Every structure is written in C-alpha cells, then in structure tokens.
Structure 1
Amino acid sequence: MISTSKPLRIVIKIGSSSLTSRHGEISRRKIEKLANEIVYLKDLGHEVVLVSSGAVAAGYRRLGCLERPKTLPEKQAAASIGQGLLMESYSELFLSNGYVAAQILITKSDFLEEDRYRNVRNTINVLLERGIVPIVNENDTVTIDRLNFGDNDTLSAKVAGLIDADYLVILSDIDGLFNEDPTKSTNAKLLEYVTEITPEIESAAVGSGSLLGTGGMRSKIEAVKIAMASGITTFLGNAARKNIVIDGVLGKAKGTYFKSKKPSAYTNHKEKWIAFNS
C-alpha cells in the first residue's frame, strides 16, 4: 500500500478481454466502468496514463472477419478500425466529465532511439501537467513482428518507468498471480504480496486463456520485473471487480501487489533507457 496524501502518477493497463464482449465488440459498459474510476482518481488530483489494448479485438468484426485475424495485414487493418472506435468512446466519456483524452501510438522503435524516447516522455509530461488523460497503445497498424512489444503489459511497464510513475495497475480477466493454475487446480492460492520475482514465481506464471488477449501471465511477470527494477509498485487484479483501480491504489483490493524491498538501481532516465531499451 502506498500513501495517497500527495498526488500520484499512475499508469493503468487494461487488456483486450477486459474491454470487449465475448463476441469481440467494444463493451460500452466495461469502458464506462474504467473511465469512471479514472475520473475519480483525477478528481482527487492524481495524474493518470491509460495503456489500453483492444484495437484489433474491437475492429476485426467491422473489417468483416468472423474471428480474430491471424495474418499480420488483417490484424493491422482491424487495428486501424478499432483504434478509432476505442478513442471515440474514451474521448466522449472523459469529456463528459470535464477531462480531455489524448491518443499516443507507440512502436518499439520509439524506445530504441534515445531522442525519440525522450520526446515521448516530454509529450506525456506536458499532457499530464495540463490535466489531460494520455491513452497509449502500440501502433499495431504499422508495427512489424520483429519491432513490436508483443503485448501492452511490457509497454505499460516501460511507460511507467519512462515517466517516473508511482504506481502501475495491470488489469486483466484474472484476480492476480496464483501459485499454480487456478483453472486446473482447486488448491491454487492467490499470492497477495510479492517482493521478489523468484524462479518459483516465474514457473507459477500461466497463460491467460483468453482468445482476445495477447499477453498471458508470463508477459505480466516480465512487465512486473521491469516495474520493480524501476522502483514502481505494481498491482495486478481483475478488471471486472467493482472499484478495482481505486481499491488497488489504496492497497485494499483483491489481487497481487508487487513491491521490491530493494531501491531502484537506476538514478536517471539515461540509465533506464540503457537497461531496458537500448
């Protein structure tokens, strides 16, 4: 649990399966739930960056596909449709509550080159200082396999480190990290507090099981490792639970909290860039 007596800089990541219906369409109810929780945090004076998946899942039916595309061109075409649908929903919901939303589409190349890395940081900082909600996603429309993040879990951790976030909230369709696969064992136990990613922790990481998402538990653990190395507290929880973001930041939600006992080894952005991106 972290103190909320001062304004916090919070990065929230939400996966595709937590934003869309089982048929692959955008769920207005799910997006509205998330937006309302972010508005609550904004009204308290906190800065929030949203890393949102869902572009491909939201757009593939509008493309005329009956199931999620498997070829890269179809995925990119679906993303070009779905990203607009996502931003339209977010913009409308935030504006109705007095906040402006901004879209930032990132590729891995933006983090590999130091000047572009610095430019992304500067842009997000200006938006946050002006009270705007940056909404980040990988630019799936133009990225290629060898130059993509692969999942927004990793992207969210790198964004959190980039802007010196206090807190990273990763939302999915699971309650947190278990000591074994909860879909296969009734004895699976939720790990509520983790201070170190051990080989046992990594072996406990299992896939998501969602057809709409791209990042399973292993990708989340990799993201947590980046965040912990940057000194950022991370919470992993189920997006469907009531007030999950708010309660997660307060340290009272059901889920897994990751906080390293060791201080970050990186004292500036140059060191972080070299460690995680160069």
Structure 2
Amino acid sequence: MPSMTRTDINRENLLENVRRVVIKVGSAVLTTPEGIDPHAIERLAAQIAILSNRNMEVVLVSSGAVAAGRQRICERMKNCSREYNDMASRQAASAIGQGRLMHDYDEAFARYDKATAQVLLTRSGLKRRSRFLNARNTMERLLEWGAIPIVNENDTVSTRELEFGDNDTLGAMCLGLVGADLFVNLTSADGVYDRNPDTNPDAKPIPVIENIACMDIEAMCDGKTNVGTGGMYSKLRAARRAAQLGVPTLIVSGKGPFDLVAALEGTCGGGTLVLPECKTVSSKKFWLAYHDDPCGSILIDKGAARALLTNGKSLLPIGISDIRGCFDREALVFIKTLDGDELGVGMSNFSSSELEQMKGKRTDEIELIFGADIPDEAVHRDNMLLDAAI
C-alpha cells in the first residue's frame, strides 16, 4: 500500500486502496458439527466475486479439508464415533476432504463465472528460496488469468502434524508470497476483545489495534475454537507478522449473513483493524524469519546485544557466549541474551559445532582454526529479523 501512510489507514478508506488481498477462512466459519456447510461456501464465493468484479485480486486460504474428509468417512461408515485426531487419520481425512472441498468451491465460484485453482503448500516446500520464488511466479500467473487461488497446507505429505502450525500462519506467509495489500481473517468471533469473551462476559471489543507489537497477546488469548487449530492467539500472531510486512489486517466474523464488502468499507460494525508497523521489513527478511521453525539458539553478551539493537550491526563470533541445540549451516536460529530474552531470529552462517569453536574469539583467532576464506559474521544483519513474532 505505497500510496498511504500508516495514519491514513482506516476502515472507511481501506477498500479503495487495496488491489490484492489474502482472505483466510477458518474451519469454525466453514463447518457445522455435521461437516462442511454449503451455505458458508456459497456465501463466501458470492462475497469474493464482488471483490473480484471490482478488479481486486483475491487469494483465499481455506481450512476445512479435514472436516470435509471426516464428513465423507462418516457417510460411508456405520460407526462414526471415533474422533480421528491422530496424525495419520487427520492426514488421511485431509486427503479425502481436499477434493470434496475444492469441488464445492469450484461449483460455487462457477455460478459467478470465476475459475478456481487449488494450491497446496508445505513449509518445507517454501524453505528453499528458489522454490518460494517459483511458487510466487505461479501465483502471479493465476492472478493474471483472473483465477481465485485457493490455498491450503498439503497435509498428506507433511512430516509434522501441522507444519505451518495453523492456516493463520499460512495466510501470513501468503502475504509475502503474493505481495498483498491487505490480510482479512474471517473467524467465528466478532473481532478481538481485551479478554477472552468466552470466560469474561464483560470483555470489551477492540475496534483498532494501533501497535500490536506492544500487546501481550499470550496473556489476552487463553482459548481456542473447538473445530480449528488456531484460536485468537494465532490470528493475532499472524496479524503481527503482517504488520511487520507493512500490511494491515482485518479480523472479522465470517459467521451468519456477513457482508465482507461492508466490513472492508467500514459501513458495518464489528471486527478489528490491526494497523501495520511504521518500520517495515523486506519480503526477503519476512520469508527468512518465518519460513521455518528455529532449530537452536545463539546466546550473546550485552555488548553484542547493544550492537544489534542500537547500531544495526551483524552478529560476530566474539559476541557469542553460548550455543544451544544442534543445527547445520544456514539454519534458522533464535538470537537471545544470556538472561534468555529473545532478540530475534537469523540464519546462521555456521553450524552449532563450528560456533562452539568460534564463540568469544576474535576474527584473527578464528582464521587460525578455519582459514581466511570464511564469513566474518556468525549471522549477517541482512539475514536477521529482530523482534520476530515466533
């Protein structure tokens, strides 16, 4: 959103300045206890078609495959008392449900003369920068053709139960993938409250969050929806990541006869607008920080912490006090103080065993061990994101 400053963004002018939007819809919106709600699919397709007809490019990140698969299993099996919550069952249900979910979407969007495209992603598939850029090129071509990309995690081949953690995280990753101007998170709740409204009847809604980095979202969010895997915590964490990228987030209810266009135009009540940060990060740093889970930690002294936070310097081996975990070169790692305060994440130029030999040493001492043809930095500032929302 290059033509606007942070203070210019409000609900009344949000829609007119958006050309590309990522919409994430959760299982709690799309499903009933019996499975996928066809009325919810139809309602969502109608709303997105309106945006598309206004020359807006839309990427839809959709949950619901597992629920659709469970529904199909129950239709075919006499005894459907099992919850099927183990990893293999969830992945098998997703494999069954993906086709059914896409069929429902394809039929619903076809009624509005809109083509859909299924895009299945894994975090490991986006880990390599070349594959990330290839996925970006594919998405660009789909949007150029006027198709509606429908994105979900490729659960069937994921080696962990939830590689992205939830589709809120996947939605935030798609912002950097397609260069979106806005993130809309459709949920079962009517926006964000100062406390969990399920356990606090006097909780108050928050119409606008101006500085999400200063919020203690863990203390605010102590509940999850029953159907999905995220809850409001994951939605706010995704919003904070979007804010770092310079993208505003609208968290709004997708239940009932919702009007997405009215929500974007600010002509209906409800929902929460999360403003972007004043100082944003590049798409490459965003990808680097969030494409994978950190697999270790580098603990640094006060002088190194000051150099990173105040002077924007790279992390040198002499400022490293300790190494935690076992990792290879180019792994994503936490950068922490000796007291355990998390400063950020970065891509390590060296393995954990190499850093064990380097820590606390000057460059000339390191060259005696490893030779002169190695990087001076343990983590270069261009490969580092401080205050990351992990």
TM-score, reference length from structure 1: 0.92
Against the structure 1 CA distance between its residues 19 and 187, is the aligned structure 2 distance closer, same or farther, given a 3 Å change threshold? same
Structure 2: stretches of 5+ with no match in the other structure: 1-10, 75-79, 292-331, 333-390
d(CA) in 2 for partners of 1:243 and 1:181? 22
Q: CA deviation at 1:73?
A: 1.0
Picking from 16, 19, 37, the partner of 2:27 is 16
Inter-partner Cα distance in structure 2 for 1:27 and 1:270: 38
Match of 2:143 in 1: 128
How far 1:140 sits from its partner (Å)? Answer: 1.0
Structure 1 gaps of 5+ residues are: none
| Rg larger in structure | 2
**Of 58, 61, 64, which residue of structure 2 is paired with 1:51?**
61
2:42 is matched with which residue?
32
Two-structure CA RMSD over aligned residues (Å) = 1.8
Partner of 1:183: 198
Question: Are 2:96 and 1:73 aligned?
Answer: no
Give how far 1:11 is off. Answer: 0.6
Aligned-pair distance for 1:67? 4.7
Match of 1:276 in 2: 290
In 2, distance between residues paired with 1:272 and 1:69? 35
Q: Within 2, Cα distance between the matches of 1:153 and 1:256?
A: 16
| 1:250 CA displacement | 1.7
- Rounded Cα–Cα distance in structure 2 between residues aligned with 1:217 and 1:103: 26
Aligned residue among 256, 259, 264 for 1:249? 264
- CA deviations on 1:139-165 (whole Å, 9 max, x unpaired) are 111112277102000000110122111
Confirm or deny: 8 A CA contact 1:35 1:94 kept in the other structure: yes
Alpha-carbon distance between aligned partners in 2 of 1:66 and 1:161, rounded to the nearest angstrom: 41
Output the CA distance in 2 between the equivalents of 1:4 and 1:111. 30
Q: Partner letter of residue 36 of structure 2? A: I
SS in structure 1 opposite 2:71? coil
Say which SS state the counterpart of residue 193 (structure 2) adopts.
Answer: coil
**Which amino acid counterpart does residue 196 of structure 1 have in structure 2?**
N
1:102-140 CA-to-partner distances (Å, cap 9, x unmatched) read 000000112211111111111111101110000000011
Corresponding residue for residue 207 of structure 2: 192
Whole-angstrom CA distance in 2 between matches of 1:174 and 1:3: 21
Cα distance in 1 for partners of 2:161, 2:67 equals 21
Tell me what 1:112 maps to.
Answer: 127
Q: Matches of 1:71 and 1:148 in 2, distance apart?
A: 15
Identity %: 39
Could you tell me whether the CA contact under 8 Å between 1:154 and 1:223 is conserved in 2? Answer: yes
Q: Which of the pair has the greater relative contact order for Cα pairs under 8 Å at 6+ separation?
A: 1
Structure 1 residues 35 and 66: CA distance shift in structure 2, 3 A: farther
Decide which moves more: 248-257 or 2-11. Answer: 2-11
Q: Aligned partners of 2:167 and 2:52: how far apart in 1?
A: 23
**Could you tell me whether the CA contact under 8 Å between 1:17 and 1:212 is conserved in 2?**
yes
Determine if contact 2:164/2:170 at 8 Å carries over to the other structure: yes
Larger deviation, residues 80-89 vs 143-152? 143-152
Alignment match, 2:154: 139
- Kept in 1: contact 2:18–2:181 (CA 8 A): no
What's 2:7 paired with?
A: none
1:60-80 deviation line (CA, Å, top 9, x unaligned): 132244354211111111001
TM-score, length-scaled by structure 2: 0.67
C-alpha separation in 2, matches of 1:4 and 1:181: 29
Separation (CA, whole Å) in 2 of partners of 1:150 and 1:276: 11
Change over 3 Å in CA distance of 1:9–1:190 after alignment to 2? same
Describe the SS at the equivalent of 2:155.
coil
* Alignment partner of 1:262 is 2:273: no
1:74–1:148 distance in 2 versus 1, CA, 3 Å? same
Q: 1:241 Cα deviation (Å)?
A: 4.5
SS at match of 1:63: helix
Q: CA deviation at 1:245?
A: 2.1
User: Displacement, 1:176?
Assistant: 1.3
Q: What do the CA deviations read for 1:194-249 (whole angstroms, capped 9, x no partner)?
A: 022224344212323x3211111111111111100001110111111434421232
Change in Cα spacing, 1:6 to 1:261, as seen in structure 2 (3 Å) is closer
Q: Give the partner amino acid of 1:178.
A: Y
Q: Provide the residue aligned with 1:102 in structure 2.
A: 117
> How many residues end up aligned between the 2 structures?
274
Aligned-pair distance for 1:179? 0.7
